[in-house]
Chain A
């Protein structure tokens, strides 16, 4: 046993296209590019944890060999402060050394759908300007948020959520490799909780394995590592009319985890619309409507905490009425 350990999602990320177990069509087409040593601009679209990043990295690996890292530029649109930073980085990268037997390098731009339309226009110009020496792989959850001119310059790949068997199989494989005991139904539960998101599934598996044997019980405990338990508590307090406590806990969660208002709102939304609370449909509609408004305000650059507080105040206002009525 080595003294060092990694996050399994990285440790078991397929290195080359051959190792990728699912998305056969996509893999076949990508392999063809490798053979021809010619890659077009590409758009990989699909939900989180379906292998977009893995495919992009594996392609680079197969194209450039073990030392592929120096020939790719990884950017995350939601982390880079604006298109100017991206432009500077791409410019520098384009000038760097080209690989010996492939005439271009790769820019992998994750979360490209988080860019504003203006930024995407600038991106389009970048793609044209440097296309002699660089190819872009854009990764996105929602292809519809990518503007037409960019889409039309890219070969489009649609990544689908992994089927249950594939996920469970992979989890089993990891357990075997790690010498971790696991129950099949626990792995199935992990699949259910992760909703086809492979990375999430592996993360939950690793958390559960840290508790010992991977049982259904361990999985339920492990799922607590993410906030839903606290998020649920906040919502529960608010729905019972206790705004003060809910708001205090909200501040704790935001400060402790450094989450953005949008992150928290999305969790709220998921919990409220999901099965966690048995809310009357009428209340759900009201809340969904207000959540939409709050999200819009957040996008307009409004103060995170006050928006969420307003949302909690709304819950505290409506919750007791509806809940009282349904009991």
Chain B
């Protein structure tokens, strides 16, 4: 059972407890002391920045604990809500907290989560807060280098946090193992640390996961459990991390941390590169060029079943696309890949077109692609230009109803009625012809009977004359 998460259980109580980050401590602790001494420092805010899980928030908490400061926390993205701003602003402006607190600290987490578009108001509000505050304001960020965060960077003391060195992380994890009484292999610990690349928080979480699942931490068990345990990003998160990745590894991580299949992942990025980089022709071309190369690699993988090329695919797709930009781009309105919806929507039509192409190819002794590129457009043109003539072609080419519909489009009803008319015509024509023949026969008969009766009369008259003579 998971009683307490170890990251909370083993969170540092004092500044000294915080693993590594000596440089950051050297800057931040004197800054806080200055606040406590009654003369606020020149910069009333500090911006702690660095990769996730290396102790930014932990150090702030440790400071609060050690110096008895009341921590007033807020996620920066909440700055859009008016009453939250007022709550924080009031706390910042009021100097005296209630005992046992000796002071206050305002913590604004994840200021890089503010979007360049739509959150300008939040940045302004934070600046205002910094200006008026009577208490230290501490901000944290993974990537503070966005153009829109510049005012915050300028108003704050910048404190950099580095990845936790392996040796420090190792001894800390071993200490936890010892206290928990869990058997841990050194190799397993190293594997966990390696995997999390200096993110101590993630390492502790991984350690706990293995320990609680198996009761001990060996290399094999760690590998078995953790290989699959990487956080799965939603497509939107993936795009955010990809397009705003500063380092190649971040971009790579973004594209390898979704559960999208390779084709769908590609479509997501292909859909949004033109949107994200669309405001600059050069970056747009570079982005698409990277995608294009990624797709060539993927084509080779699929054709030759050569999956060892997969890392190169991810490199082109992640870092290739992310680092294609030569300048900062505002977050665009990203969207679900239109191609997927379109393919689903046009599935029926595509099926008909394939059938039609195969049918025409057979009739005309040509390839299907010729039928698609030449004959279908030709028939489609005729259907628009001359529906009556097209109806005759439809009959002659034995096109079925859905093919006719596909080609005739808005003229479908017209064409259909022509087809019906043409199909019944032979019968009507035949009837008419038969009647004409009948008429002719009648005339002939009448003429003949007339002739015959004339002849008979003549013969009769002749006979009469002859008898009279007698």
- Chain B 283-309 interface 0/1 with A at a Cβ cutoff of 8 Å (1 = within): 011001101110110111011000000
Q: Are A313 and B372 in contact (CB under 8 A)?
A: no
Alpha-carbon distance between A146 and B282 when the two chains are bound, in angstroms: 41
Least Cβ–Cβ distance between B358 and chain A, in angstroms: 8
Q: Which of A74, A200, A210, A259 is packed against the most chain B CB atoms within 10 Å?
A: A210
Q: Are A297 and B278 in contact (CB under 8 A)?
A: no
- Segment at the interface with A among B202-210, B216-224, B392-400: B392-400
**In the complex, which of the residues B284, B346, B357, B373 contacts A263, with contact meaning CB atoms closer than 8 Å?**
B373
- Chain B 319-361 interface 0/1 with A at a Cβ cutoff of 8 Å (1 = within): 0000000000000000000110010001000100110010001
For B288, the chain A residues whose CB sits under 8 A away are: 306, 309-310, 313
Q: Are A306 and B281 in contact (CB under 8 A)?
A: no
Is A258 part of the binding interface, using a Cβ–Cβ cutoff of 8 Å? Answer: yes
Q: Are B274 and A244 in contact (CB under 8 A)?
A: yes
For B385, the chain A residues whose CB sits under 8 A away are: 207, 210-211, 221
For A224, the chain B residues whose CB sits under 8 A away are: 381
Is B374 part of the binding interface, using a Cβ–Cβ cutoff of 8 Å? Answer: yes
B355-378: which have CB < 8 Å to A?
A: 357, 361, 363-369, 372-378
List the count of A-B residue pairs having beta carbons below 8 Å apart: 166
Closest to B299 in A: A301
Is A3 part of the binding interface, using a Cβ–Cβ cutoff of 8 Å? Answer: yes
Q: Are B296 and A302 in contact (CB under 8 A)?
A: yes
Q: Are A258 and B372 in contact (CB under 8 A)?
A: yes
Q: Are A7 and B425 in contact (CB under 8 A)?
A: no
Alpha-carbon distance between A21 and B350 when the two chains are bound, in angstroms: 39
For A57, the chain B residues whose CB sits under 8 A away are: 365
Is A113 part of the binding interface, using a Cβ–Cβ cutoff of 8 Å? Answer: no
Q: Are A6 and B397 in contact (CB under 8 A)?
A: yes
**In the complex, which of the residues B274, B278, B369, B381 contacts A207, with contact meaning CB atoms closer than 8 Å?**
B381
Q: Are A6 and B396 in contact (CB under 8 A)?
A: yes
Closest to B300 in A: A300
Q: Are A316 and B284 in contact (CB under 8 A)?
A: yes
For A258, the chain B residues whose CB sits under 8 A away are: 350, 353-354, 357, 372
Is A325 part of the binding interface, using a Cβ–Cβ cutoff of 8 Å? Answer: no
Q: Are A53 and B365 in contact (CB under 8 A)?
A: yes
Alpha-carbon distance between A110 and B368 when the two chains are bound, in angstroms: 12
**Do most interface residues of chain B lie in helix, strand or loop, or is the interface mixed?**
helix
Closest to B360 in A: A7
Q: Which of B296, B298, B354, B365 is packed against the most chain A CB atoms within 10 Å?
A: B365
Is A5 part of the binding interface, using a Cβ–Cβ cutoff of 8 Å? Answer: yes
Q: Are B367 and A79 in contact (CB under 8 A)?
A: yes
Alpha-carbon distance between A9 and B360 when the two chains are bound, in angstroms: 12
Q: Are A200 and B302 in contact (CB under 8 A)?
A: no
Is B446 part of the binding interface, using a Cβ–Cβ cutoff of 8 Å? Answer: no
Q: Are B374 and A200 in contact (CB under 8 A)?
A: yes
Q: Are B364 and A305 in contact (CB under 8 A)?
A: no
Closest to B266 in A: A303
Q: Are B295 and A307 in contact (CB under 8 A)?
A: yes
A102-150: which have CB < 8 Å to B?
A: 110-111
Is B382 part of the binding interface, using a Cβ–Cβ cutoff of 8 Å? Answer: yes
Q: Are B270 and A306 in contact (CB under 8 A)?
A: yes
Q: Are A210 and B299 in contact (CB under 8 A)?
A: no
Q: Are A314 and B291 in contact (CB under 8 A)?
A: no
**In the complex, which of the residues B270, B303, B367, B396 contacts A76, with contact meaning CB atoms closer than 8 Å?**
B367
Is B264 part of the binding interface, using a Cβ–Cβ cutoff of 8 Å? Answer: no
Least Cβ–Cβ distance between A223 and chain B, in angstroms: 10
Closest to B284 in A: A313
**In the complex, which of the residues B282, B285, B354, B379 contacts A310, with contact meaning CB atoms closer than 8 Å?**
B285
Q: Are A243 and B278 in contact (CB under 8 A)?
A: yes
Q: Are A110 and B365 in contact (CB under 8 A)?
A: yes
Closest to B356 in A: A258
Is B10 part of the binding interface, using a Cβ–Cβ cutoff of 8 Å? Answer: no
A44-93: which have CB < 8 Å to B?
A: 53, 57, 74, 76, 78-79
Is A241 part of the binding interface, using a Cβ–Cβ cutoff of 8 Å? Answer: yes
Is B430 part of the binding interface, using a Cβ–Cβ cutoff of 8 Å? Answer: no
- Chain B 409-442 interface 0/1 with A at a Cβ cutoff of 8 Å (1 = within): 0000000000000110110000000000000000
Q: Which of A3, A7, A9, A320 is packed against the most chain B CB atoms within 10 Å?
A: A3
Alpha-carbon distance between A320 and B281 when the two chains are bound, in angstroms: 10
Is A270 part of the binding interface, using a Cβ–Cβ cutoff of 8 Å? Answer: no
Q: Are A10 and B363 in contact (CB under 8 A)?
A: yes
Q: Are A10 and B364 in contact (CB under 8 A)?
A: yes
Residue ranges of B at the interface with A (Cβ–Cβ < 8 Å): 266, 270, 274, 278, 281-282, 284-285, 288-289, 291-293, 295-296, 298-300, 302-303, 338-339, 342, 346, 350, 353-354, 357, 361, 363-369, 372-382, 385-386, 389-390, 392-393, 395-397, 422-423, 425-426
Nearest first, the 8 A-B pairs at minimum CB distance are: A301-B299, A225-B381, A4-B396, A5-B392, A313-B285, A310-B288, A302-B295, A210-B386
Further pairs besides A2-B392, A258-B353: 9, Cβ < 8 Å:
A3-B425, A6-B397, A251-B338, A257-B376, A301-B299, A302-B295, A305-B339, A306-B270, A306-B291
19 pairs from A and B in contact (CB 8 Å cutoff): A3-B395, A5-B392, A5-B393, A7-B393, A10-B365, A225-B380, A243-B281, A258-B350, A258-B372, A259-B373, A260-B369, A300-B296, A300-B300, A302-B292, A302-B296, A305-B270, A313-B281, A313-B289, A316-B285
